Structure 1
Amino acid sequence: MIDFHCHLDLYPNPSEMADEVQRRKVGVLSVTTTPSAWAGTSRLARDRTVIRTALGLHPQLAGERIHELKAFDRYVADTRFIGEVGLDGAPECRSFWSQQTRVFEHILHACSEAGDKVVSVHSRRAATPVLDLLDRFERVRMPILHWFSGSRTELRRAVERDCWFSVGPAMLAGAKGRALVAAMPRERVLLETDGPFAQLRRAALQPWDVAIACQSLSEVWGTDASETGRIISGNESTLLAGCDRRDD
């Protein structure tokens, strides 16, 4: 199984965590929050075959780090994976909304030009504006909405836009999250932890805790563990095969 959204570089001992996920053979998409973190974070994947690094600029940092778009442009050709990027509509982030939109639009344009990127997208309290921007960049073919928490109407729109969804133990611990996941197409659901930020029972989630999410999905879907694992494995293969195909 693959953890499609994990802040590997922000654990207390990133190298030890990287060694452990390699030992356990748990796939990790290691997302970054700033382009300046790219070089150090990507080194965690060196000689560790289960880790892939995503280049990101987190919307909560867009106001103070918009100047790092130049670094983003410098590194974007080095990876197929982009994240964490997106928009955040929480009250504490509204004061720099214009910078958020400029950053996200710039990143989507770069991904559209490349035509081969898998993008992990933050959309807290901002699902509609996120989808509005995604609609403008149709060549961004495989956006993954990380920890989606929008309305049912926004979920239907995301499905129509061919979005994927990464869900984790923390999201599946609540009734709203489980209801949203139940309404998602099973063939577009992936796993994540959002560790170390996301917690379960006051403990930071670790990449191998995607197994907890898989068990919760079995409960939501009414499937046994082997069937749930088969679905998730098939989804992972479909997504990764798709990102290997370049547009003409």
Structure 2
Amino acid sequence: MLERCAEAGGKIFTVYIVRSVPAALELIEQYLPQDRDAVVLHWFTGSKSEARRATTLGCHFSVNADMTRSDRGRSFVAGRGRCGHDGGKIERSLSPMPLKA
């Protein structure tokens, strides 16, 4: 599947990478050219060196509100972090914005 997508190019891959970082990065490196596709990693659990490797491969990191509470999570935001939408439980009350007449 990755080979076919790489041939077509212009794809955005969203990869849930929790506890599978080495294998996932190997597949990304082997099959997805950096100049043709974008990869967003969700729930990244790798080491700092694996994060550097992912960045070198052109990957982006999905970062949720919980991750911004740690130095490690904030480091993703400062680099190739993208706003995540699937993280943790929301602990704040959200009210709708008032509509203008």
Q: Deviations over 1:77-123 (max 9, x none)?
A: xxxxxxxxxxxxxxxxxxxxxxxxxxxxx2x2232121010111111
Distance in 1 (alpha carbons) for counterparts of 2:31 and 2:76? 22
- Larger relative helix fraction: 1
Q: CA deviation at 1:149?
A: 1.9
Contact 1:170 1:200 in 2 (8 A): no
Q: CA deviation at 1:199?
A: 1.1
Extract unaligned runs of 5+ from structure 2. Answer: 95-101
1:179 lines up with 2:75 in the alignment? no
Q: Deviations over 1:54-77 (max 9, x none)?
A: xxxxxxxxxxxxxxxxxxxxxxxx
Contact 2:5 2:11 in 1 (8 A): yes
* Residue matched to 2:90: 200
What's the secondary structure of 2:41's corresponding residue? strand
Identity across matched positions, percent: 31
Distance in 2 (alpha carbons) for counterparts of 1:127 and 1:200? 26
1:160 lines up with 2:52 in the alignment? no
1:191 lines up with 2:83 in the alignment? yes
What's the secondary structure of 2:7's corresponding residue? helix
Distance in 2 (alpha carbons) for counterparts of 1:116 and 1:135? 16
Contact 2:60 2:82 in 1 (8 A): yes
Distance in 1 (alpha carbons) for counterparts of 2:20 and 2:74? 21
Which residue identity does 1:169 align to in structure 2?
A
Q: CA deviation at 1:128?
A: 0.8
Contact 1:121 1:144 in 2 (8 A): yes
Contact 1:147 1:168 in 2 (8 A): no
Q: Deviations over 1:145-176 (max 9, x none)?
A: 11212111111111111111110113334xxx
User: Residues 185, 160 of structure 1: CA spacing in aligned structure 2 closer, same or farther, 3 A cutoff?
Assistant: farther
Which residue identity does 2:80 align to in structure 1?
R
Distance in 1 (alpha carbons) for counterparts of 2:21 and 2:71? 17
Which residue identity does 1:186 align to in structure 2?
A
Distance in 1 (alpha carbons) for counterparts of 2:84 and 2:50? 21
Distance in 1 (alpha carbons) for counterparts of 2:58 and 2:4? 19
Extract unaligned runs of 5+ from structure 1. Answer: 1-105, 207-248
What's the secondary structure of 2:46's corresponding residue? coil
Q: CA deviation at 1:138?
A: 3.2
User: Residues 151, 172 of structure 1: CA spacing in aligned structure 2 closer, same or farther, 3 A cutoff?
Assistant: same
What's the secondary structure of 2:85's corresponding residue? coil
Moved over 4 A (4+): none
Which structure has more RCO (C-alpha within 8 Å, separation ≥ 6)? 2
Q: CA deviation at 1:141?
A: 2.6
Contact 1:143 1:164 in 2 (8 A): yes
